[in-house]
Amino acid sequence: MTMSQKEPESKTTESTNRKTLFSYLKKGIYRIETARKITQFCCFLLLNAVVFGLGPWPLVLPIIGTLGTPTKTVLEAFGTVQWMLFELVIPFLALASILLTAVFVSRSLCGWVCPFGFVQDLLKYVKKRHTQVSPRTHDSMIKIKYFILAVLLFISGTLAITLAAGVGRRYKTALGEDFARAPFNALSPADTLFAVLPRIVLEARYGIPTLIETGTVADGILSAPLFLWIRLAIMIGIIGLAAYIPRSWCRYFCPNGALMGLLSHFSFLGLKRDPVKCTKVGCRLCVEACPMMVRILDMPWEKFNDPDCIYCLKCTDACPTKAILPKFS
C-alpha cells in the first residue's frame, strides 16, 4: 500500500471520529438532563451565595436546605413553618410558597432546585450499579415519608396549641428547646450537611464563631454532643444510602417531598404520554430511567401527576419517540 492510499484513509477515520464526537456533544447538549444539571448547579451556588457576599434574600422555598447556617440565602419552607409555629406566628409566607409552588409547578423544585436533591443526584455516580428495590418493598417504604411528615406536624402543631393556651412550657422543656423549635431541622441530614458541618469546619479552622449566625438551630445542636453524633450518623447513613439507591431520601424519607407530593394532586402541571408514539410493549425505557420508580406505563396517558414525580424529565430524555412530555392544564 502506498502513502497516497494511506492518507485518504486516515483522513476519513479522523472525520468520522470528529463527526462521532460532534454528534455525541450535540446529543449531550440537547438533553434535558444537561439543562437540569446546569440549573441544579447554579441553584446550588445561589442558595449558598452568602459565601460570596450575596443575600440573604427574603425568599422561602419548599426545598430542603437549612434553617441555621452560615451559608443561608433563602429559607426552606417546611422548617420555617415549624419555627413560626414554635414562635406562635402564623407562617403565611411559607404556607403561600408551599401552596403556590405545588399548584403551579408541583414537585419540580425537587428535581431542579433542591440542593439536597442535587447532592443525591451526584452521589448516584459513586456506584456504577445501583441496588434494585422491588416494587413491593418500594410500595411499603414510600409510606415512611408520610409517617415522618405526620409525626413532625403533630409535634409542632400540638406544641403551638399548648403554648398558645399557656400550658405548653413543660411540653417544650420535655422536647428540648432546639428540638421543639424545629423538630425536622434538629435532625435533618441536609441541615447537618449544609449548616452544622460548615460551622464545625469554620470553628475548627479559624476559631471564629463570631462569623457565624447565632440563635439558630445549629447553635444548640453544637452544644449537645450526643445530638451532634446522632445527626452525623443520620447524615452519613442517608448519604451512603443515596449512593446505592438513587434519590432514596426523596423517595422514602423527605417530609417536604411528602407534603409537596400530597399537594401535587391539585397541580396544573403533569406529564402526558402520547399513546400513538409510545410502543409500550417491550420498551420500558422511561420506567427504567425514572429515579423515583414512578409506574409511568400504568398511569393515565392524558395526564398524570404522581405524588412521587419530581419532574426531572429523565423519562422524556429516555423515550426514543419523545412520547412523554410535560402538560400544563
Task: For ligand SF4, give the closer residue by CB, 40 or 156.
Answer: 40
What are the residues whose beta carbons fall under 8 Å from the beta carbon of 275, sequence distance 6 or more? 301, 323
Kindly state the smallest distance separating residue 291's Cβ from ligand SF4, in Å: 6
Report the residue from 74, 77, 105, 110 that binds ligand SF4 according to the rule CB under 6 A.
110
Report the residue from 70, 117, 183, 198 that binds ligand SF4 according to the rule CB under 6 A.
117
Task: For ligand SF4, give the closer residue by CB, 117 or 183.
Answer: 117
Neighbours of 199 (CB within 10 A): 22
Task: For ligand SF4, give the closer residue by CB, 62 or 168.
Answer: 62
Nearest to 100 by CA among 230, 322, 260, 243: 260
Neighbours of 143 (CB within 10 A): 11
Task: For ligand SF4, give the closer residue by CB, 168 or 194.
Answer: 194
d(CA 309, CA 86): 31
d(CA 125, CA 218): 30
Distance of CA 304 to the CA centre of its chain: 21
Output helix, strand, coil percentages for the chain, rounded to the nearest 5.
65, 5, 30
Q: Is residue 314 close enough to count as binding ligand SF4 by CB under 6 A?
A: yes
- In the numeric block, which cell numbers belong to residue 314? 429523565
Of 66-74, 177-185, 237-245, 284-292, the window that binds ligand SF4 (rule: CB under 6 A) is 284-292
Site string for ligand SF4, 247-276 (x = CB under 6 A): --xx---x-xx-------------------
Site string for ligand SF4, 63-102 (x = CB under 6 A): xx--------------------------------------
Kindly state the smallest distance separating residue 316's Cβ from ligand SF4, in Å: 7
CB 324 within 8 A of CB 273: yes
d(CA 254, CA 148): 8
Neighbours of 85 (CB within 10 A): 24
Q: Is residue 187 close enough to count as binding ligand SF4 by CB under 6 A?
A: no
Sites of contact with ligand SF4 (CB under 6 A): 63-64, 110, 114, 116-117, 249-250, 254, 256-257, 289-290, 292, 294, 296, 309-315
